[in-house]
């Protein structure tokens, strides 16, 4: 996977279900099981994180990574709900999402 094959952008409404599934899959992999009822913030990412920015990485039309940037101060932010598809790990995608978070005005915040 080359970096030119990926598009990192702000969440589009049509991607919500894929982003939610990616995050739940990552949680399930990490914890062995996951109860979606305990993750209600994923039901409506746009509303839950209205004061944040949900970044999405796509390869073609496939959602392969995500991270939500929550501002914690004028010069600080936290990335939450970060997940990368198993097939795309160890290729620098997490780093790309972090780097993109520092350029939010450029990518359409």
Whether pLDDT at 109 is above 70: no
Alpha-carbon dihedral angle through residues 1, 88, 58, 27, given to the nearest 10 degrees: -170
Is there a contact between 2 and 91 (Cβ–Cβ < 8 Å)?
no
d(CA 69, CA 15): 17
pLDDT digits (tens, 9 = 90+) for 44-62: 998 999 889 999 999 999 9
The overall pTM is greater than 0.85: no
- Starting from the edge strand earliest in sequence, which strands make up the sheet with 62-71, in order? 6-10, 52-59, 62-71, 77-84
Residue 92 has pLDDT above 90, yes or no: no
Q: What is the pLDDT of residue 62?
A: 94
Neighbours of 45 (CB within 10 A): 22
């Amino acid at each position: 996977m080359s970096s030119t094959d990926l598009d990192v952008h702000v969440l589009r409404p049509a991607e919500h279900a894929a982003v939610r599934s990616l995050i739940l899959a990552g949680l399930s992999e990490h914890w062995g099981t996951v109860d979606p009822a305990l993750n209600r913030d994923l039901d409506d990412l746009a509303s839950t994180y209205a004061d944040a920015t949900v970044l999405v990485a796509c390869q073609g039309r496939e959602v392969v990574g995500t991270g939500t940037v929550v501002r914690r101060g004028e010069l600080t932010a936290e990335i939450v709900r970060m997940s990368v598809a198993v097939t795309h790990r160890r290729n620098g995608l997490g780093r790309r999402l972090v780097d993109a978070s520092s350029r939010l005005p450029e990518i359409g915040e």
